[in-house]
Amino acid sequence: MEKRTTNKFSLPRAAAYAVAAAVIFLSGWGLGSGRIILNGNQIFRKSVQKGLPANLDYTSVEQVYDTLKRDYDGQLDSQKLTDGLMSGLAAATGDPYTEYLNKDAAKDFNDQLNGTFTGIGAELSKDAQGNLTVISPIAGFPAEKAGLKPKDVITDIDGTSTNGLSISEGVNKIRGPKGTTVKLKIVRGGTQELNIDIVRDQITVASVTTKTLDGNIGYIQISRFADDTSGLAQKAAADFKQAGVKGIVLDLRSDPGGLLDAAVNVSSLWLPSGKTVLSERRDNVVVRDYPAKGNPVLAGIPTVVLINEGSASASEITAGALHDNGAATLMGVKSFGKGSVQQLEDLANGGVLKVTIAHWYTPKGININKEGISPDKEVKLSDDDAKNQRDPQLDAAKAMLIQP
């Protein structure tokens, strides 16, 4: 989850972005490793660090620089050297969600948050072993069509190993002009090696889609929690309420996350004002509770939330909030498991630092980081189901809602 200090979808001054692939950069729609979750409020945070000097001693750094400048047989770029220093500081935390983004990467980040970019349409993260991993391919776009799946480990990009690459570096290698091809070598399930060629395309992702299913059931699919999600979801809720639907399916499958405010607003469509949506903890101490904002137009309407291994961050917050408050039944398979909060702050050079500042917990005090949220009813979707356009998870949700 990521946070920011403004409610605009731009890179703000002294801002905090919080997305999470998230960050959650996508290989084309880069929300990055942290999954993007942002909110519009800044909280004073007391440092939890102990024993660190007030400032770093850069004597040896200057020595390395002087030696490179004097002896390196090649052309050096001062900006790249500076970027390398800041990348190294962030990487030294050992946290895959803490990362330095240079000016170009920061611009890409902002562009991608707006939902239009050129790439393959798959979000990347890193697993516990530091491998570049697919969080989720975006439905209907090149990565999914080529067969990429959540949890696939990308070992090579265009014949070059991904070992040691940051998420943003992996994203940059995968992205490219529309119509060009990127060659990925992946490992699936720990043993199966596959080579997948994917043609890049323009990716435009709608954050909310709706329809009415058989049996007068309202269906809301959220592909990411974006700047327009709250308004679109509120309109859908009002329309379904007026139509007198007998149930709601909230489809958060393969939703990598997005704005924290949007997750709170969507949850508030079911939860009365004041009900806890999530709690944020720093050094295991609660620093803030996020309550529902009222106007629960869908309260009391039977609801099923669909989740899968690609549901992360803001989608997990929403699923956890509705589940823990008894407002919905969760169905599908265990979610991704992204329970930390990232803040992105603008730097003077145009770059951005993304740093883990806290962890979030469900209303019942559960941190799903690395564990994910388990559904109340597990329903799997096989490769054969997907190939033949069957959706047993949605079918099970409809069956539960239309039963007498």
Active site residues: 313, 324, 338
What's the CA gap between 83 and 100, in Å, rounded? 8
What's the CA gap between 38 and 30, in Å, rounded? 15
- The bridge status of strand 340-346 relative to strand 352-361 is antiparallel
Contacts of residue 226, Cβ cutoff 8 Å, sequence gap at least 6: 9, 113, 115, 207, 258, 259, 262
* Residue 358 · residue 282 · CB < 8 Å: yes
* Residue 319 · residue 264 · CB < 8 Å: no
What's the CA gap between 81 and 58, in Å, rounded? 14
DSSP 108: H
User: Cα(first)–Cα(last) distance of the chain, in Å?
Assistant: 39
What's the CA gap between 123 and 290, in Å, rounded? 27
Q: What pairs with residue 184 in β-bridges?
A: 157, 196
What's the CA gap between 231 and 262, in Å, rounded? 9
Separation in Å, CA 164 to CA 117, 156, 161 = 25, 11, 8
Q: Cβ of 368: how many Cβ atoms within 10 Å?
A: 24
* Residue 242 · residue 296 · CB < 8 Å: no
| 3 state DSSP class of 21 | coil
| 3 state DSSP class of 187 | strand
Up-side HSE of residue 68: CA atoms within 13 Å toward CB? 12
What's the CA gap between 14 and 5, in Å, rounded? 8
Which phi and psi (to 5°) does residue 322 adopt? -70, -40
